[in-house]
Amino acid sequence: MSSEQEWPPLPPLSTGPRGRCPRCGRGHQFSGFLKLRSQCEVCGLDYSYADPADGPAFFVICFACIPTVILALWIEVKFEPPYWVHLVTTLPFLLLTCIPPLRPLKGWLVASQYFYKAEEARFDTAAPIPPLAALPEDKDPRSA
C-alpha cells in the first residue's frame, strides 16, 4: 500500500489484544507466540519502532503471579497438604494465569507505542527557555 494513504487512528485496546496491526487493524503483529513480525503484511507498517521490553512480564507478575502465590500460601496454611497437591493445584493455576495474557499485553503495549507515538527520550538538545516578559515600571511588584 502507499505510504501516503491516511489511516484513521485506531485505539490500542481494539487492535493490540487481538494482535492486529495498530495502523490498519487488519494485519498481524506476531509471527510466533511472542515474536513480532518485521512489518505488517497488509499496510507495510515497520514494527522496528516497537520495544515493549519487559512490560508484559511485569504486568503478568503483578496481576497473576502475586495472587497465585497468595493462593499457594493459603492452601499451605489452611490445609497443610503434601507437596504433590501444590503440583496439581497451584502449578496449573500459575501457568493458566501467566502464559495466556502475555501475547495480548504485548500487543496492547506495541499498539499503544504506535498510537501515542512513543519514542526514546533524547537528552542531547535542551528545550529553549522563553525569556521572561518585562513588566512595566508601574507594575513592578518590588517597587511597592
Which residue type occupies 27? Answer: G
Helices vs strands, H then E, count in the chain: 5, 0
- CA 51-120-42 angle, to 5 degrees, is 45
The whole-number pLDDT of residue 144 equals 56
Classify residue 34 by burial, with Cβ atoms within 10 Å: 0-12, 13-18, 19+: middle
Place of cell 485496546: 13
- CA 105-109-111 angle, to 5 degrees, is 115
Instruction: Give yes or no for a contact between 96 and 32, defined as CB atoms under 8 angstroms apart.
Output: no
Tens-binned pLDDT, residue by residue, of the chain (144 aa): 445 588 999 999 999 999 999 999 999 999 999 999 999 999 999 999 998 989 999 999 888 888 899 999 999 999 999 999 999 999 999 999 999 999 999 999 999 999 999 888 777 766 677 777 665 665 655 655
Report how far residue 86's alpha carbon sits from residue 139's, in angstroms, rounded to the nearest whole number: 76
Q: How far is CA 24 from CA 19, 21, 32, 65, 121, in A?
A: 12, 6, 20, 34, 27
